[in-house]
Structure 1
């Protein structure tokens, strides 16, 4: 088996065995996989498990998955491919594209089954936080589940009693997620790990509660508006213009502008700029590209203008976030 799998409970979790709520590579069905890398499943406390993974996908990494009743919060740092929710007969329902830099949340109060397909050679890196429905209720978030339907502004897929959405991506939440991932992979500070995990669950609950269904948007406009968002995220470097985007989704410019603002809380251009800057920050922090390359990759031909926007958004020059040879950010060294 090329995939190194570790499964354990945190020292303070009062668990003898970890109850895995989602997919489990320790299962015998994974024994012959050609996928390489590391996969850790950590029991934080009863009803809360976290999986962290950094894998290069092999030819046989495709198939069904199942989850117990839970709410799942997923951060994808590197990803490609897609998944589908399945109905009771195993037929594919809504599709779910896997994209880096996104926070997905899945509410499956009765459990769920699905199918995934990731291209061979893809680096799949991220983490999966699963909260069972009993703990979710104890955390005071049970009311959120009743507001999740296909008309909710965060919705991207649903079917067979399961709902999937994409949460906003505040940099501070991603920073906590990266710290949690790193601590799971290289450290054994269980108390710090639990604190970060609860911070993420709390922040996710607040984000879901603060964004309510956009009741004033005509139902016929919701899917085109979701498509507009997905088109921009999929091609951040494209020089999107309102008239072209409106034609692409089949709405007038006015319906695009007013509907998008009501549905996502951003104007079209403000949303596009936010996603561009978040993706640029992710690629700069990872060390994949230079600052100039990061700017070009998300559609900014003027590095100076990009740096000004970046500084205004994050309060730091992008060059300060380049990893140094010692693995620490230059921003930290400059303090």
Structure 2
């Protein structure tokens, strides 16, 4: 097992040591279950810490975590498994949180939080974790949001014991910023640019939390079915979904599904599905797991030519170019 762990403060940071606000790779669980992995914790400024990680789980990855009072913003580029919020006795499971790629998870824990995680063997767990302590969050002008986060908020996924978790798909422009932030962290690029990207992500997350609040047009009874509809689309990308079929699966009328989904997630159903399909296809191609035709079929496109047109329109290059870049990297 070989988990490479690094901690450092940015050059412009006014602090001597990194203050770890969340789970730490110093926990023996990490080193015992990860192989060929890298985990970096970067101190950006007092009250702001960013962790980036790329790990392959080599054994049962099950354990508990504790976090200091903070707001956490997480991007998962590759992931599987799930977590749970725990009660104050650290035994009762309050709410489950499935780990899925292509999402932003926002956890508000003004009094700290306890949790449990379970990630399957062989999972590649790649992403970043931005932690903002409560004092800095308030100075950023977002303290009022903490009092309005409940199960009726449009982004709500789980809550309990004073902790709230919301989730939303990653908008394309923010995904590009997140990838650039991740890449620069892994190669120790420009620290000032790194901090600027981090602040952009925090600002965008605050804006998303405000923009979808309080979403009174969505009946409370529809929120869980809408969340299930989103999860079904992400979990079964290749399935030839129809609105009627998806609506029946989650127990909504087509009208309530269409209007509620757009209001809750900011995307029409098919727009969201197309975005998730293309993101997954790009991941499969860039990771070398499939060629272009295989990736197209894997995410639900039987016509490679149509898939290539959509890919070009979304990413500004043909999928064959993404494959060629991967092959060139492999030869370098």
Task: Please say whether Structure 1 and Structure 2 have the same fold, judged by a TM-score greater than 0.5.
Answer: yes
Match of 1:333 in 2: none
Partners of 2:222 and 2:204 lie apart in 1 by 29
Partners of 1:154 and 1:137 lie apart in 2 by 20
Partners of 1:6 and 1:128 lie apart in 2 by 15
Alignment of 1:61-100 (within 5 A): 61-90=61-90, 91-100=92-101
SS at match of 1:271: helix
Count the aligned residue pairs: 327
Deviation at 1:321, TM superposition (A): 3.2
Q: Deviations over 1:298-325 (max 9, x none)?
A: 1111112222233334444333333244
Deviation at 1:172, TM superposition (A): 2.4
Given that residues 10 and 44 in structure 2 are in contact (C-alpha distance below 8 angstroms), is that contact kept between their aligned partners in structure 1? yes
Given that residues 168 and 207 in structure 1 are in contact (C-alpha distance below 8 angstroms), is that contact kept between their aligned partners in structure 2? no
Alignment of 1:311-322 (within 5 A): 311-322=312-323
The answer for unaligned runs of 5 or more in structure 1 is 329-335
Match of 1:110 in 2: 111
SS at match of 1:191: helix
Partners of 2:89 and 2:63 lie apart in 1 by 15
Match of 2:13 in 1: 13
SS at match of 1:42: strand
> Over aligned residue pairs, what C-alpha RMSD do you find?
2.1
Partners of 2:209 and 2:180 lie apart in 1 by 22
Quickly say closer, same or farther: Cα 1:119–1:143, change in 2 above 3 A.
same
Match of 1:57 in 2: 57
Partners of 2:313 and 2:30 lie apart in 1 by 49
Quickly say closer, same or farther: Cα 1:172–1:321, change in 2 above 3 A.
farther
SS at match of 2:233: helix
After TM superposition, the score normalised by the length of structure 1 is 0.90
Given that residues 171 and 278 in structure 1 are in contact (C-alpha distance below 8 angstroms), is that contact kept between their aligned partners in structure 2? no
Partners of 1:255 and 1:32 lie apart in 2 by 47
Quickly say closer, same or farther: Cα 1:32–1:78, change in 2 above 3 A.
closer
SS at match of 1:228: helix
After TM superposition, the score normalised by the length of structure 2 is 0.91
Partners of 1:301 and 1:31 lie apart in 2 by 40
Quickly say closer, same or farther: Cα 1:267–1:174, change in 2 above 3 A.
closer
Partners of 2:173 and 2:19 lie apart in 1 by 30
Structure 1 stretch displaced more, 76-85 or 3-12 = 3-12
Poorly superposed stretches of 4+, deviation over 6 Å: none
Quickly say closer, same or farther: Cα 1:86–1:297, change in 2 above 3 A.
same
